[in-house]
């Protein structure tokens, strides 16, 4: 009888025979409620999201009925000044619910009255800021390629004239020795001119010809020495490679808009010297607090807890708010993916915290073992990862419903207009102005020279 009694006791928590369990699910990243409302009653009719599917499957396997609780505005809940708790944690401590099936970070909430289930997935707390502004069309060609390519282009362009000058010096020296030994040798007219011409003028001409070829323009005359011709042929090949790289990059930047450098590290966020707003007090506990890093200590001082406004923080930020905020990385990929596809918000890749996420039960709950066994089976079977992947796919599909989505993303063919050629016109205008200034200076210098000659004659 004792053995039968033990088995009967254990089976109670494997089959509840449709016993109603007070289940609390509130709006979170992977969970939401379907609420039915009329003039006289408010009723929760079901759940959606990955957490909701976990809840439905748990109820099916353990044969209990979910008595869904009406959510409040405190969401996860925090410790108030008088030592009590609000939100989901407060309900669990006051025994107003049997299980919370919205994911919680596994961390210290400063109470021993709650317990966590087995971890079901992981997530990060990340900071996000407004996307850096677009680079104006007038200078966008300058940013078409990366800085290291520009440096390489300029470095090679400055080095190659000296290589050519070295070849010219060697060739002239060898030719001079050969002409003195063989008196009967007839030199070509161009070689004779090179021997008699001033070396400084030759080197100046080499410098100009090198840059003419380096920017893919033909030179008027080629050197008489074979070694120099081979050298400039190789120089032309390298110039073609750089030119193709520039042209392909220009075609890309005119279709895909470029932006200035975004904030990508916590150090850059600290240097930006902006406030960091958070909506949930639980985020503040150990996000930056307790770190020995001076950067994290500075960021801790900039944290500010604010209430949820009618206009969401991320929407305020997208309209020009100069501040940072903190939220779960999955939330940015699901609820707020539209802001990232349209390049209005930027998530800082360096996230300060990552957590395992689990559901919450009362401390020493007899349900814990049965729940954990089933949750681990769901995780091992890949069901939870599959449901999360479905949510992310659906979130991307829903972005197509936004009005003007294609216009904001630029995901269409772009017709180039005169506005896209602003830099070309600016270059021509600046070049014409400089040429005019040089012409005037030459004219003035020429007039002074003529006056001096006339003065000497007189």
CB atoms within 10 A of CB 370: 19
Contacts 24+ apart (CB under 8 A), 161-166: 161/203, 161/206, 161/207, 161/210, 161/211, 163/231, 164/206, 164/210, 164/228, 164/231, 164/232, 165/203, 165/206, 165/207
pLDDT for the residue numbered 1? 38
pTM summary value: 0.68
DSSP alpha helices (H): ranges in 182-280? 189-196, 199-214, 226-255, 266-272
How is the chain split into domains, by residue range?
140-255, 423-457
Instruction: Give residues with Cβ within 8 angstroms of 219, minimum separation 6.
Output: 209, 212, 213, 232
Closest CA relative to residue 124, chosen from 12, 234, 283: 283
* Mean per-residue pLDDT of the chain: 81
Which residue intervals of 273-421 are DSSP H helices? Answer: 294-301, 313-318, 329-334, 337-341, 368-381, 383-398, 405-409
Q: d(Cα 336, Cα 60) in Å, to the nearest integer? A: 32
Residue 345 has pLDDT above 50, yes or no: yes
pLDDT average, residue stretch 377-384: 92
3-state secondary structure of 396: helix
**Count of residues in the chain:** 458
Left, alpha or beta for 343 (phi > 0: left; psi -120 to 50: alpha)? left
CA distance 120 to 130: 32
Task: Give pLDDT tens digits for 287-326.
Answer: 887 777 888 888 888 888 886 665 678 888 888 878 898 9
Average pLDDT in the 13-25 region?
85
- The DSSP bridge partners found for residue 126 are 327
**Inter-axis angle of helices 383-398 and 368-381, nearest 10:** 60
Contact yes or no for 347/128 (Cβ under 8 A): yes
Q: Is the pLDDT of residue 183 over 50?
A: no
Question: Which of 137-151, 202-216, 414-428 is the least confident region?
Answer: 414-428
**pLDDT class of 381 with cuts at 50, 70, 90:** very high
* 273 secondary structure, DSSP code: T
**Averaged pLDDT, 370-388:** 92
The whole-angstrom distance between residue 315's C-alpha and the CA centroid of its chain comes to 18
Render pLDDT for 424-440 as a digit per residue (tens, 0 to 9): 788 888 888 998 998 89
Tell which residue, 331, 334, 326, has the closest CA to residue 351.
326
Q: 6 - beta bridge partners?
A: none
Q: Which residues contact 85 (CB under 8 A, 6 or more apart)?
A: 77, 78, 79, 93, 111
Parallel, antiparallel, or unpaired: how do β-strands 32-37 and 114-116 relate? unpaired
* Predicted pLDDT of residue 35: 67
Instruction: Look at 59 and 10; give whichever has higher pLDDT.
Output: 59
* Residue 5 to residues 12, 14, 37, 63, 339, Cα–Cα distance (Å): 11, 15, 45, 21, 59
Neighbours of 333 (CB within 10 A): 17
Strands 353-362 and 99-105: antiparallel
Give the tens place of pLDDT for each residue, 37-71: 655 667 788 888 899 999 999 999 998 999 888 88
Residues 109-168: tens digit of each pLDDT = 888 899 999 999 999 989 999 998 888 777 777 777 888 888 888 888 888 888 888 888
In angstroms, the Cα distances linking 21 to 65, 316, 359, 360 are 6, 40, 15, 14
Confidence of residue 182 (pLDDT cuts 50, 70, 90): very low
- The DSSP string of 413-436 is -----GGGGHHHHHHHHHHHHHHH
DSSP element (H, E) containing 67: strand 64-68
| Percent residues over pLDDT 70 in the chain | 84
Query: What percentage of the chain exceeds 90 in pLDDT?
Result: 15
Q: Which residues is 34 bridged to in the sheet?
A: 46
């Amino acid at each position: 009888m004792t053995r039968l009694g033990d088995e009967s006791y254990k089976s109670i928590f494997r089959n509840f025979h449709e016993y109603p369990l007070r289940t609390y699910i509130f709006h979170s990243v992977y969970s939401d409620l379907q609420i039915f409302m009329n003039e006289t009653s408010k009723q929760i009719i079901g759940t959606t999201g990955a957490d909701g599917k976990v809840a439905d499957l748990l109820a099916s396997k353990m044969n209990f009925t979910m008595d869904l609780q009406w959510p409040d505005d405190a969401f996860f809940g925090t410790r108030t000044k008088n030592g009590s708790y609000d939100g989901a944690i407060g309900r669990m401590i006051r025994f107003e619910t049997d299980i919370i099936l919205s994911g919680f970070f596994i961390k210290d909430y400063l109470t021993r009255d709650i317990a966590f289930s087995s971890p079901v997935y992981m997530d990060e707390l990340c900071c996000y800021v407004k996307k850096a502004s677009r680079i104006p069309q007038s200078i966008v060609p300058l940013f078409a390629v990366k800085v290291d390519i520009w440096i390489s282009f300029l470095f090679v362009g400055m080095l190659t004239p000296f290589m050519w000058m070295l070849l010219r010096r060697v060739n002239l020296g060898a030719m001079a020795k050969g002409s003195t030994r063989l008196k009967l040798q007839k030199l070509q007219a161009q070689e004779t001119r090179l021997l008699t011409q001033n070396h400084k003028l030759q080197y100046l001409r080499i410098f100009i010809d090198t840059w003419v070829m380096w920017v893919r323009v033909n030179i008027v005359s080629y050197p008489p020495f074979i070694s120099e011709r081979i050298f400039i042929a190789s120089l032309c090949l390298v110039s073609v490679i750089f030119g193709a790289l520039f042209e392909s990059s220009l075609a890309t930047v005119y279709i895909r808009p470029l932006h200035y450098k975004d904030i990508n590290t916590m150090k850059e966020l600290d240097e930006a010297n902006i406030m960091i707003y958070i909506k949930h007090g639980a985020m503040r506990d150990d996000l930056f607090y307790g770190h020995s890093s001076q950067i994290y200590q500075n960021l801790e001082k900039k944290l500010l807890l604010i209430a949820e406004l009618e206009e969401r923080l991320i929407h305020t930020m997208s309209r020009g708010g100069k501040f940072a905020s903190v939220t779960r990385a999955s939330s940015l990929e699901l609820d707020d993916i539209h802001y990232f596809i349209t390049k209005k918000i930027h998530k800082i890749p360096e996230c300060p915290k990552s957590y395992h996420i689990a559901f919450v039960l009362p401390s020493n709950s007899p349900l814990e073992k049965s729940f954990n066994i089933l949750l681990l089976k769901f995780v091992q079977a890949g069901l939870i990862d599959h449901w999360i992947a479905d949510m992310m796919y659906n979130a991307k599909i829903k972005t197509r419903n936004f009005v003007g989505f294609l216009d904001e993303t630029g995901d269409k063919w772009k017709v180039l207009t005169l506005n896209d050629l602003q830099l070309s016109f600016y270059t021509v205008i600046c070049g014409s102005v400089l040429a005019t200034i040089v012409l005037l200076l030459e004219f003035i210098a020429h007039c002074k020279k003529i006056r001096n000659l006339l003065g000497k004659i007189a």
